[in-house]
Structure 1
Amino acid sequence: MIHGVGIDLIEIDRIQKWYTKTPKMAEKILTQDEHDIFDKIKLESRKCEFLAGRFAVKEAFSKAMGTGIGKSYGFHDINCIPDENGKPEIICEGFRVHCSITHTQQYAQAIVTIELGNNKQE
């Protein structure tokens, strides 16, 4: 049974301006697992794309949960890391979470569908 669906779209330029002005903002958005991936990215433009994608997927997740960021789930409560095939994956106890992140030169977008049930695919 579907619990919720969330979608978010963000301008990468907005994240880039924010990150350029305040590099520590990455710590506010990313979990330690995500930050480990972020730190390995060499190009600043790719770092901003990654950051925008994670921002969007966390916003989409919180919308799918029906809470919004900050009420029941903060940025550090949502850990989105790639599975063994590179697909973004969010683990949330009691739910199966399906997510996808896409980028253009200008935007990052994420969609999340949450099902009631086991947190791992069967």
Structure 2
Amino acid sequence: MIHGIGTDICDSRRIAASLARRGDRFASKVLGPNELKVFAARRARNEARGVIYLATRFSAKESFSKAIGLGLHLPMRMPDCEILNEPSGKPFVRLHGELATWFDAQGLTAQVTLSDESDYVVSFVVVERASA
């Protein structure tokens, strides 16, 4: 049964501007530990690809927060919601801390998809509750 759906579109130029203003502090407020490693590696190879990575994760976390119905209120913290990739490239959600505990207690699962084009990124999340 569907618990919630969330979608978000984000202008990657806005993320680039935030990163320029606030530096790595901005990235650390958005990304979890595994995502920070990927971000650093992508950014080292190509600054633009690092920004797109950060923008897609920001967007996906906004979508996730909408789908779970909490918005950006506790226990939802952006670094506790990681959007990682399987070896095939398929994105998936990995949760940590109080958010993971809350999510599991609700009996929820999540599916996420991301896309980027030029200056924009988009994400879509479906959160389902296991049937009783």
Asked if TM exceeds 0.5, the reply is: yes
Of 104, 113, 118, which residue of structure 1 is paired with 2:126?
113
Deviations 1:55-109 (A, max 9, x none): 0000000000011013330101211110121111003533221110100111111
Maintained 8 Å contact 1:4/1:66: yes
When the two chains are superposed, the root-mean-square deviation of aligned CA atoms in Å is 1.5
Distance of 2:124 and 2:77 partners within structure 1: 18
Indicate the residue corresponding to 1:28 in structure 2. 29
Task: Give the count of matched residue pairs.
Answer: 118
Percent of aligned pairs sharing the same letter:
30
2:89 is aligned to 86
Q: Which residue of 1 aligns with 2:112?
A: 99
Give the structure 1 partner of residue 39 of structure 2.
38
**What is the one-letter code of the residue matched to 1:5?**
I
Residue 71 of structure 2 corresponds to residue 68 of structure 1? yes
The two structures have a TM-score, normalised by structure 2, of 0.84
Check the 8 A contact 1:64/1:113 in 2, yes or no.
yes
Structure 2 unaligned residues grouped into runs of 5+: 96-103
The answer as to whether partners of 2:28 and 2:79 remain within 8 angstroms in 1 is: no
Which structure's residues are more often helix, by fraction?
Answer: 2
Cα distance in 2 for partners of 1:65, 1:29 equals: 18
2:73 and 2:120 map into 1 onto residues whose CA distance is 23
Which consecutive segments of 4 or more residues in structure 1 shift more than 4 A?
Answer: none
When the two structures are superposed, what TM-score results if normalisation uses the length of structure 1? 0.90
C-alpha separation between the residues in 2 aligned to 1:101 and 1:69? Answer: 20
CA contact (8 A) 1:91 1:97 kept: no
Runs of 5+ consecutive residues of structure 1 not aligned to the other structure = none
Give, in whole Å, the separation in 2 of the partners of 1:3 and 1:103.
26
